[in-house]
Copies of this chain bind each other. A is one copy, B any other.
């Protein structure tokens, strides 16, 4: 199949070809697309990527396979659309939060960022959890890198604006904070997603971030 020629060494997507095939013009098709989107998440949740087939998605969405191919040139494009939408949601939420927190103190920043992150991730935990594991189909690392980079940059700017601290190696601190946030929530969602654990996360994560920021900033405060 020609598809395989698009990849150099891993399942790396060629963005141009991952875009939707056509944009809906009537109300009917907009509904269809939403149904497909929704069905995809459901199928992902009940069987993981390994069991996601075009037929199953179409079935669940109540449309025929052919319909799917009218909007997405292939399965990967569908998945890509899903992931991208999710990333954008979270990215926006975090951008809003960091903007709002500019110039405040370390405690406010730590708690604000941690809470915003938790809120964003939990808001559609369904989609988030569904999306973990899509990496089997195409290389997410590029997208994840970009997201991580964006987040680190936002946090870095935020730290620079803190009114009560400054850091010797602010970039590293921002990087570490992003890793702590992103990683801990992910691990809990994947390995131990219970109400109790989410409560713990909400209680402890902001404190942990705060403690780290204070410790990292202390050595440099006059």
What residues make up the interface of A, taking CB atoms closer than 8 Å to B?
9-11, 46-51, 132-133, 135-139, 141, 144-145, 147-149, 172-173, 175-176, 179-180, 182-188, 190-192, 197, 200-201, 203-205, 207-208, 210-212, 214-216
How far, in angstroms, from A186 to B141 measured CA to CA in the complex?
12
Secondary structure type dominating chain A contacts: helix
With a 10 A CB-CB cut-off, give which of A182, A183, A216 has the most chain B CB atoms: A183
How far, in angstroms, from A213 to B149 measured CA to CA in the complex?
28
How far, in angstroms, from A136 to B216 measured CA to CA in the complex?
39
Contact in complex: A200, B187 (CB < 8 Å): no
Contact in complex: B191, A147 (CB < 8 Å): yes
Nearest-CB distance from A203 to chain B (Å)? 7
Q: A176-B184, A179-B183, A204-B216 are in contact. List 9 more A-B contacts (CB 8 A).
A: A9-B46, A11-B51, A147-B191, A148-B187, A148-B191, A175-B197, A175-B200, A180-B180, A183-B183
